[in-house]
Amino acid sequence: MNKSVAVVTDSTAYLPENIRTDLAIEMVPLNVVFGKESYREEVDLITDQFYQKMKSATELPTTSQPAIGEFVTLFEKLANEGYKQVVTIHLSSKISGTFQSAVSAGEMVEGIDVYGFDTEVSCSPQGYYVLKAARMANAGQDAEAIMEKLTAMKETAKAYFMVDNLNHLHRGGRLSGAQLLVGNLLKIKPILHFEEGSIVPFEKVRTEKKALSRILSLLEQDVSVGGKYIATVIHADNLSGAEQLQATIRETFENVEVDISYFGPVIGTHLGAGS
């Protein structure tokens, strides 16, 4: 285990605890707030419990980023353990202040150099960067080499998603009122994606079936140039739908390795069940 570089992420990478433990990945949780009760996602509140709570909640929950002090405490602990560098990898700075908090905390801690990486996405694609960084750190690579590799990975990473209901995104300030109104009037299932770190509509499609079909055709365009690819189907409380899509991708694309992940509480708050 390389003691010179530590790898830190936040809970929205949704990496299972056993993987974080095996690869020595540190995780700082974001928070979900139901009424007056605040829960640290992946710590106090797991995903299944969250979607159950959502069904009975009178008001939709809100989310908040970790306090800057949590990062300061963690970076100080890592410095005391003998680490010289930290690569800290977070969800898009356009949808959360978590990345900025981590970078600011890094400037406050003596004796350790903190390198912040803004994935400009979230969830499983964020997890890809974290896993790559941890494996490189454990193989003895330094922070500069890791940052260079993560930046190169960004060139080929893409994420498309479809929400069942636009209200969550609008209420969380992630989609404009005009986009919401038009979408709901036409019963549109927009395909969304990240553009320079912001969530924006990619294409407007009328039905869920057409939206999924269009996402598959976008995948086909990307993987038809040859080479090996990794894809993840991410779902919000819709495992059977995710498994069907995974099976379709497996049958259709021989050069794509496909697994399943989930939208946890923080991202699920903004996207809603069924995404």
Tens digits of residue pLDDT in 86-107: 999 999 999 999 999 999 999 9
Domains detected in the chain = 5-30+65-154 (3.40.50.10170), 160-271 (3.30.1180.10)
For the ranges 23-32, 72-81, 134-143, 262-271, the lowest mean pLDDT is seen at 262-271
DSSP lists the bridge partners of residue 191 as 162, 203
**Cα–Cα distance, 275 to 242 (Å, whole number):** 10
**Cα–Cα distance, 252 to 245 (Å, whole number):** 11
Q: What is the mean pLDDT of residues 161-173?
A: 71
Q: What pLDDT is stored for residue 57 in this prediction?
A: 87
DSSP lists the bridge partners of residue 25 as 7
Give me the chain's average pLDDT, please: 91
Q: What is the mean pLDDT of residues 124-136?
A: 97
Q: What pLDDT is stored for residue 177 in this prediction?
A: 56
**Cα–Cα distance, 144 to 52 (Å, whole number):** 43
Sorting pLDDT into bands at 50, 70 and 90, what band is 182?
low
- For the segment 208-264, what is each residue's pLDDT rounded down to a tens digit? 899 999 999 999 999 998 899 999 999 999 999 999 999 999 999 999 999 999 999
Q: What pLDDT is stored for residue 183 in this prediction?
A: 56
- Asked whether residue 186 carries a pLDDT value surpassing 70, the answer given is no
- Asked whether residue 187 carries a pLDDT value surpassing 80, the answer given is no
- Residue 130 — φ and ψ, nearest 5°? -65, -45
pTM tops 0.85: yes
Sorting pLDDT into bands at 50, 70 and 90, what band is 60?
confident
